[in-house]
Amino acid sequence: MLETLGNLGEFVGAVGVILSLLYLSWEVRRNTKIQLRSNHRALQEELHASVRPAVESLELANLVSCAMENLEALKPGERYQVDLYMMSWLQNAELALLDRVDGLLTAETVEPYQAAIAGHLRSPGGRQWWGERRHWFTGRGQGLIDGIIEDVDISGQGAGVGLNHG
């Protein structure tokens, strides 16, 4: 009788351990989803802050759009503005790509960034800009961005790219 109670106690204890492990597994998955969502929100806020100047300034928006078609047409001050603007948003996008590789973001999260990168850097001025300024990015980031530019399965158009400018 005592042995039966001992076996029953061991069984109940084992079930408790299994239930605890299942709960812990569920909690870890839930916390991972929450962290991924939080990472995505933070990335969006940073990217939106980096493109805000072009949203708020029609002059800068037109300048960047024209630069993507013909970078050589820019005056030195305009080129400097475009350089800083492109560096700002593209370094944020680079972080998204690196975070994806490191498992901190989902593939779905970075798809819009890939489309924007492809759209901008496949344009004539964008290709030139990337060729001249790629050293402003990490080696890993350069490889990821090069892969996006060359990946025909990634479609996208950069904002304002491909429009006629006068």
pLDDT of residue 165: 40
Mean pLDDT of 3-21: 81
More confident residue, 135 or 53: 135
pLDDT of residue 166: 40
pLDDT of residue 156: 67
The C-alpha atoms of residue 71 and residue 74 are separated, in whole angstroms, by: 6
pLDDT of residue 146: 97
pLDDT, one tens digit per residue, over 18-58 is 878 888 888 888 887 787 778 778 777 887 787 888 888 89
The C-alpha atoms of residue 11 and residue 25 are separated, in whole angstroms, by: 21
pLDDT of residue 138: 96
pLDDT of residue 9: 81
What is the secondary structure of 48-83 as a DSSP string? HHHHHHHHH-HHHHHHHHHHHH-GGG--HHHHHHHH
The pTM for the full model equals 0.75
pLDDT, one tens digit per residue, over 75-120 is 999 999 999 999 999 999 999 999 999 988 888 889 989 999 999 9
